[in-house]
Amino acid sequence: MTALPKEKYTLEEYFQLEKESNERFEYFDGEIYSMAGVNQEHDQIEWNLSGFFRNNLRGKNCRAFLANMRLKVPSLPPYRYSDGSALCGEAVYDKIGGVDVLTNPQLIIEVLSDSTEKFDRDQKFKHYKSIESFREYLLISQENYFVVHYLKHNEKFWMQTEYDKLEDVINLTTLDCDLTLAEIYEDIDLLAPTL
């Protein structure tokens, strides 16, 4: 995530940049951050998740979105990009700056990188919690076989479970399906996590 060089941007300038560019950008307090450019592990993880969702959500009233879907985050306007999101039921959109923005994700996924990990774990998670429908958060390491799964129990409590073996199974409660680390990391050769 890299800030563009101009000191401060208006929302109107940001929306214009979003419409005119093939890149993805996020806006925060007048600064615009480029979301482009991932390494091969990150890309493969997204590809693997796409196949998993296609196979496991077929025939269900559920839908998954990958990195290009904008999410409305009430406490961090105008919207954010996650690496993936999903929901069961009808997808609801708002138009913000002339583009469709998903308002009701239940599951949000972030693939962690050195430049975004702290923000994804802390500030972004805190702000995602302002999405009323948000119930599950999946943080996926691209450095080693390691996934953190958060499941909402109430407004004050999210249960955290960590997975570090390829045979580990994550129950995605909101989608009523199971995801293994082997499916997430298929065709990726990483090291076991170090403590």
Q: What is the pLDDT of residue 17?
A: 86
Same domain for 20 and 43, yes or no, is: no
Domain that holds residue 6: 1-37
Same domain for 54 and 148, yes or no, is: yes
Residue 194 domain flag:
no
Same domain for 86 and 151, yes or no, is: yes
Under 8 Å between Cβ of 28 and 1: no
Tokens of 111: 């693939």
Specify the number of domains making up the chain: 2
For the stretch 97-141, pLDDT in tens is: 988 999 999 999 999 987 778 888 888 999 999 999 999 999 999
Q: How confident is the model at residue 28 (pLDDT cuts 50, 70, 90)?
A: confident
Distance CA 39, CA 145 (A): 16
Residues 6+ apart with CB under 8 A from 145: 164, 165, 166, 181, 185, 190, 191, 192, 193
Residue 147 domain flag:
yes
